Amino acid sequence: MNYENILLEKKERILYLTINRESKLNALNKATLAELHFAITDAFRDEEVGGIIITGAGSKAFVAGADIAEFADLSEDEGRIFAQEGHHKVFDIIHGSEKPIIAAINGFALGGGLELAMACHIRIAAETAKLGLPEVTLGLIPGYGGTQRLTQLVGRGRALEMILTADMIGADTALQYGLVNQVVSAESLMSAATEKMQKILSRAPLALGAAIQAVNASLQDGVNGFEAEIDQFARCFDTEDFKEGVAAFLEKRKANFKGK
Ligand code: COA
């Protein structure tokens, strides 16, 4: 695929994915969402990629939301399809990815931008970041998972306060709420995200995927998370990486995981 709205760079098993519509504060239009879908599913198949770091181009915005100009004229049916497609093709596949995905929040993360960050597994924010779900100012509500994922991350009271007031919060408040995992200076954002990802990628790859699936199961309707954990735990025993991890421990050396 020819990418026009995102930049991709692979370095030491990390895929750096930068949303690159700086003049529109990296707002997610249809073309960008399609490119995100393609790039992320491609990364799932790419054995050279262990994890993905998503950020926004420039210093002002991570992503300032879905592209307002594109959804201005939608009908109810079109609005439903708009949300469903976004959920299925982008936000759900990020959430369910067996490869870890970190959001490096370099500025405004609003509406669909915050929803994108919340679908990721870990969020690291620059101290200059501003986060919010301002959809009610447009006569809308969040439609890419915001009502659900914000509630899961910060609890019902804070989620409703943020959604109903449409107020943005700063990075320190987001940290206090548990909405982001870490706050760093703007200059050290990418190195902090890289460091976190490198540490994760030094662990057994199949165990990472199993852990993500087991944790995600706790949020899935109709799924017994404890049973899911037992299944994922059991699957790990059948991997070469488990044998290598245990052998390395007993031999007092660093494990050399192969993802098998
Ligand atoms: N969709 C489409 N375009 C957007 C956008 C979005 N979500 N957010 C910003 N832009 C565009 C602006 O229209 C502007 O384009 P222009 O230069 O062609 O007019 C450009 O990005 C710069 O934004 P601007 O509003 O001039 O910057 P600012 O510094 O004055 O304000 C924000 C920054 C983030 C506060 C403001 O852009 C904003 O409120 N954006 C919308 C946030 C939102 O409601 N998101 C949820 C959507 S569901």
In angstroms, the CA 33 to CA 58 distance is 19
- Of 9, 22, 78, 115, which one is the catalytic site residue? 115
* Nearest atom, ligand 1, residue 60 CA: 29
Ligand 1 atom nearest to 61, measured from its CA: 34
Active site residue 98: no
**Phi, psi of 104, deg, nearest 5:** -105, 100
Annotated catalytic residue 70: no
Q: How far is the CA of 61 from the centre of ligand 1 (A)?
A: 10
From 22, 24, 60, 73, give the residue whose CB has the most ligand 1 atoms within 8 Å, as the site to mutate. Answer: 24
Sheet holding 14-19, edge to edge: 6-11, 14-19, 51-56, 101-105, 122-126, 182-184
Nearest atom (ligand 1) to Cα of 137: 44
> In angstroms, what is the span from residue 24 Cα to ligand 1's centroid?
6
Residues with CB under 6 A from ligand 1: 24-25, 27, 64-69, 108, 110-112, 134-135, 138
Residue 1 pLDDT > 90: no
Cα(36) to centroid(ligand 1), Å: 20
What counts of helices (H) and strands (E) characterise the chain? 12, 10
Please state the separation of Cα 11 from the chain's center in Å. 19
What pLDDT is recorded for position 77? 97
Q: Which helix (H) or strand (E) holds 56?
A: strand 51-56
By alpha-carbon position, which residue is closest to atom 1 of ligand 1? 67
For residue 161, the Cα-to-chain-centroid distance in whole angstroms is: 23
pLDDT at 142: 98
Rounded to two decimals, the pTM is 0.97
Say which of 70, 127, 135, 229 is annotated catalytic. Answer: 135
Distance from Cα 68 to the centre of ligand 1, integer Å: 8
Query: If you search the block for the tokens 């997610």, which residue do you land on?
Result: 28
Evaluate whether 116 touches 28 at the Cβ level (below 8 Å).
yes
C-alpha of residue 27 to centroid of ligand 1, in Å: 8
DSSP helix/strand/coil, 244: helix
Could you read off the pLDDT of 147-195 as tens digits, one per residue? 999 999 999 999 999 999 999 999 999 999 999 999 999 999 999 999 9
Cα–Cα distance, 247 to 257 (Å, whole number)? 11
Instruction: Give per-residue pLDDT as tens, 201-232.
Output: 999 999 999 999 999 999 999 999 999 999 99
CA atoms within 13 A of residue 110's CA, in its CB half-sphere: 22
CA distance 77 to 93: 23
Q: Is residue 79 classed as helix, strand or coil in its secondary structure? A: helix
In angstroms, the Cα distances linking 70 to 8, 102, 107, 135 are: 25, 27, 22, 15
| Pairing mode, strands 51-56 and 14-19 | parallel
Q: Which atom of ligand 1 is nearest to the CA of 110?
A: 45
Q: Looking at this protein, which amino acid is placed at residue 30?
A: K
| Stretch 30-48: mean pLDDT | 98
Kindly report the CA angle at 76 between 74 and 81, in degrees rounded to 5?
75
Question: Per-residue pLDDT tens for 108-152?
Answer: 999 999 999 999 999 999 999 999 999 999 999 999 999 999 999
Whose C-alpha lies nearest to ligand 1, atom 13?
24
